[in-house]
Amino acid sequence: MGNAVTIGIPVKDGSERDAGDKCAPAPRVIAVSSGKGGVGKTNCVINLAIAFARMDRKVLLLDADLGLGNVDVLLGLDSEYNIGHLLRGEKTIEEVMVKGPSDVMIIPASGGEQEFTRLAAHERHALSSHIEGLKASVDVMLIDTGSGISDNVLFFNMAAQEIIIVVSPDPASAADAYSLMAALLKKHGERRFKLLVNAVRSKKEGFAVYKRVLFGVERRLSPFRGLNVSIDYIGSVLRDDSVGKAAGQRKAVVDAFPGSKASRCYLEAARTLSEMPVSKDLKGGLQFLWRRMLSANCNS
Ligand SMILES: Nc1ncnc2c1ncn2[C@@H]1O[C@H](COP(=O)(O)OP(=O)(O)OP(=O)(O)O)[C@@H](O)[C@H]1O
Ligand SMILES: [Mg+2]
Confidence band, pLDDT 50/70/90 cuts, at residue 23: low
The finding on whether 40 has its CB within 6 A of some atom of ligand 1 is yes
State the Cα–Cα distance between residues 236 and 233, nearest whole angstrom: 9
Map out the domains of the chain as residue ranges. Answer: 3-7+27-294
Cβ of 39 below 6 Å from ligand 1: yes
Cβ-in-10-Å burial (0-12, 13-18, 19+) of 43 comes to buried
Ligand 1 pocket, residue 244 CB under 6 Å? yes
**In terms of DSSP H, where are the helices of the chain?**
41-54, 71-74, 83-87, 93-96, 121-132, 151-159, 171-188, 203-220, 241-248, 253-256, 261-275, 285-294
Beta-carbon neighbours within 5 Å of ion ligand 2: 41-42
Can you name the residues that pair with 238 across neighbouring β-strands? 200
Which of 38-47, 131-140, 217-226 has the highest mean predicted lDDT (pLDDT)? 38-47
Say if CB 102 and CB 50 are below 8 A apart.
yes
Given pLDDT bands bounded at 50, 70 and 90, which one contains residue 9? very low
Which ligand has an atom closest to residue 71 CA? 2
Parallel, antiparallel, or unpaired for β 230-238 and 59-63?
unpaired
Contact 196, 205 (CB under 8 A): no
CA-proximal residue: ligand 1, atom 6 (nearest): 243
Query: 177 CB under 6 A from ligand 1?
Result: no
Question: Is the distance from CB of 164 to CB of 196 less than 8 angstroms?
Answer: yes
Interhelix angle 261-275/241-248, nearest 10 degrees = 100
Name residues whose C-beta falls within 8 Å of residue 56's C-beta, 6 or more positions apart in sequence. none
pLDDT at site 264:
98
Q: What interhelical angle do 261-275 and 41-54 show, nearest 10?
A: 70
Least confident of 145-149, 188-192, 205-209, 288-292: 288-292
At 135-144, the pLDDT tens digits run: 788 899 999 9
Q: Which atom of ligand 1 is nearest to the CA of 247?
A: 31
- Measure the CA–CA gap between 100 and 46, rounded to whole angstroms: 10
Give 101-120 pLDDT, tens digit per residue: 999 999 999 776 667 878 88
Of the bound ligands, which one is closest to the alpha carbon of residue 249? 1
Q: Which secondary structure element, helix H or strand E, spans residue 236, and what is its range? A: strand 230-238
Ligand 1 pocket check: which of 243, 249, 250 to mutate, most ligand atoms within 8 Å of Cβ?
Answer: 243
103: CA distance to ligand 1 center in Å? 23
269 within ligand 1 shell (Cβ under 6 A):
no
Alpha-carbon Rg of the chain, whole angstroms?
A: 18
What DSSP line would sit under 157-192, residue for residue? HHHSSEEEEEE-SSHHHHHHHHHHHHHHHHHH---E
% residues pLDDT > 90 (the chain)? 57
Whether domain 3-7+27-294 has CATH 1.10.10.350 = no
Task: Name the DSSP letter for residue 257.
Answer: -
